[in-house]
Amino acid sequence: MKEISIVGGGPSGSMCGERLARAGYDVTIFEERPSWEKPCGGGLTRKAIEKYPFLMDNSLPKREVNTAEIISGHRSGRSQRVQFDLGRPIVIYSRKVLNTLLLERAASAGCRVVESRVASVDTHGDTPGERVRLTARGVEHKCDFVVLAGGARNQLLPDTTPLRPQDLEMTVGYFIPASEDVLKIKFLPQFEGYLWSFPRADHLSVGICGKMAEYSSQTLREHLERFVNEEGLSIHGAQFFAHVLPAPEADTIHHRRVAGKNWALAGDAAACTDPITGEGLYYALRSGDLLAEALIQAAPEAYSAQLWTEFSEDLEFAARIARVLFRGQFLGAAVTTRMVQFLRRSPTFRELVRDIFSGSQSYRTLKRRLWSQLGGTLAEIARSMFESPAAPHAEPYSAGPSN
């Protein structure tokens, strides 16, 4: 196997191409929109930065954010919110900058980048040993293996199924020309998804994601407009966006085929995203990297198993607990409201949430950690309430009627 085609020059395709080209493969990346501002938060966790330090070690515009604010909405309109120090900052990129960086790295490693949309892929040659055929702008290209890294909307599906509406979230949002220092996340009552405001180098990415099978774009848009108003933002000069985001169900993560003899899916196309947070950049980079490694080792069949060991098993667990987080109750209130209250008053709980934000806390061990810490957390909360009903540790915050 020498010639490899990659459909999509986003994070997963570029990472895969870069690694393969460095190993001496003849790689062509087909990308219909190189360097575009793909709708995204652009947030990279510590986990991603530690695995791929070049994401930090460059002079490109990006934003390091140290403070997060969690807001828990209530049906009465009375939200509870808390700000806390993230400990290990999140790095936020504009996707135009990030995609350009990744695609340029792939090109300098030796990838041929073709600005074109791939319209069809045929992995079943008429004769044994026949190569994969792709068509782009009416021209046929042949290769030995094709990597399908075309994102959440990928329709090129050799021998596998498309993602179903229940495996996808709809997102709508704005790139707003404003500056803030705090990353905000707002949960809505009984709502599977969340609102966000992510500060970038010269604007904010503000949006909402919600299960495609449950919420219409109109509903999401209404929540978004309310959030923008509540946070005192102006959409004057803002750019609206809408896109889909995989939030795969557990059985999809477990059973969906992501590779065959001469093809493999990577990144969003393979539904490699966290079904709770929507984090996909790390998983896109990592899946592209793992796929390249499997091809270099001449063992493409090992790719699915490596995805499973490295993160899919944990993401499957996340998919199973997502409903509890978004819709569950704990001690008589919404889990998300308890989260805000615990964050205010318990240093132990804050450390746990910091680890979730940094990506160092796996979902599989989360429950055990929560239960083992619960006694200490509740004791800290009781002590804090006794010492100061206004919660001393996590200033500033507003517990009373806000938006």
Ligand X SMILES: Cc1cc2nc3c(=O)[nH]c(=O)nc-3n(C[C@H](O)[C@H](O)[C@H](O)COP(=O)(O)OP(=O)(O)OC[C@H]3O[C@@H](n4cnc5c(N)ncnc54)[C@H](O)[C@@H]3O)c2cc1C
Between the two ends of the chain, the Cα-to-Cα distance in Å is: 59
Residue of closest CB approach to ligand X = 280
Number of Cβ within 10 Å of residue 320's Cβ equals 14
| Nearest residue (CB) to ligand X, 150 versus 248 | 150
Q: Is 197 in the site for ligand X (CB under 6 A)?
A: no
Chain positions 282 to 321 lying near ligand X, rule: CB under 6 A, are 282, 284
| Nearest residue (CB) to ligand X, 82 versus 284 | 284
Spacing of C-alpha 272 from chain mean position: 9
Q: Is 10 in the site for ligand X (CB under 6 A)?
A: yes
Judged by CB under 6 A, the number of residues near ligand X is 37
Q: Is 243 in the site for ligand X (CB under 6 A)?
A: yes
| Interatomic CA distance for residues 114 and 32, integer angstroms | 8
Chain positions 147 to 186 lying near ligand X, rule: CB under 6 A, are 149-151, 171, 173
Query: Is the distance from CB of 83 to CB of 41 less than 8 angstroms?
Result: no
234 burial level (CB within 10 Å; 0-12, 13-18, 19+): exposed
| Nearest residue (CB) to ligand X, 89 versus 150 | 150
Cis? peptide before 396, omega within 30° of 0:
yes
| Nearest residue (CB) to ligand X, 44 versus 391 | 44
Least distance (Å) from ligand X to the CB of residue 127? 26
Q: Is 40 in the site for ligand X (CB under 6 A)?
A: yes
Q: Is 12 in the site for ligand X (CB under 6 A)?
A: yes
Q: Which range of residues in 40-48, 253-261, 381-389, 390-398 is near ligand X by CB under 6 A?
A: 40-48
Least distance (Å) from ligand X to the CB of residue 31? 5
| Interatomic CA distance for residues 44 and 41, integer angstroms | 9
| Nearest residue (CB) to ligand X, 31 versus 249 | 31
| Interatomic CA distance for residues 13 and 28, integer angstroms | 10
What are the structure tokens assigned to 177, written together?
Answer: 């020309």
Options 273, 306, 337, 377; binder of ligand X; rule CB under 6 A: 273
| Nearest residue (CB) to ligand X, 25 versus 357 | 357
| Nearest residue (CB) to ligand X, 78 versus 153 | 153
Buried b (16+ CB within 10 A) or exposed e, 14-29: bbbbbbbbbeebbbbb
Nearest to 288 by CA among 98, 3, 1, 10: 10
Query: Is the distance from CB of 195 to CB of 278 less than 8 angstroms?
Result: no
| Nearest residue (CB) to ligand X, 282 versus 311 | 282
Options 245, 258, 276, 340; binder of ligand X; rule CB under 6 A: 245
Q: Which range of residues in 62-70, 75-83, 220-228, 279-287 is near ligand X by CB under 6 A?
A: 279-287
Specify the residue for token string 């790689």.
27
Options 249, 268, 314, 316; binder of ligand X; rule CB under 6 A: 268
- 3-state DSSP assignment of residue 190: coil
* Residues contacting residue 281 through CB under 8 Å, at least 6 positions apart: 11, 40, 42, 43, 44, 48, 98
Q: Is 117 in the site for ligand X (CB under 6 A)?
A: yes
Q: Is 89 in the site for ligand X (CB under 6 A)?
A: no
Q: Which range of residues in 19-27, 144-152, 251-259, 362-370 is near ligand X by CB under 6 A?
A: 144-152
| Nearest residue (CB) to ligand X, 33 versus 124 | 33
What are the structure tokens assigned to 37, written together?
Answer: 């501002």
Q: Is 105 in the site for ligand X (CB under 6 A)?
A: no
Going from the C-alpha of 326 to that of each of 38, 145, 156, 279, the distances in angstroms are: 26, 40, 32, 16
Least distance (Å) from ligand X to the CB of residue 138? 14
C-alpha triplet 195, 201, 205: angle, nearest 5°? 20
Specify the residue for token string 């828990």.
72
| Nearest residue (CB) to ligand X, 277 versus 337 | 277
Q: Which range of residues in 9-17, 63-71, 74-82, 176-184 is near ligand X by CB under 6 A?
A: 9-17
| Interatomic CA distance for residues 203 and 63, integer angstroms | 10
Q: Residues interacting with ligand X, by CB under 6 A?
A: 7-13, 30-33, 38-43, 117-118, 149-151, 171, 173, 207, 243, 245, 267-269, 273, 278-282, 284
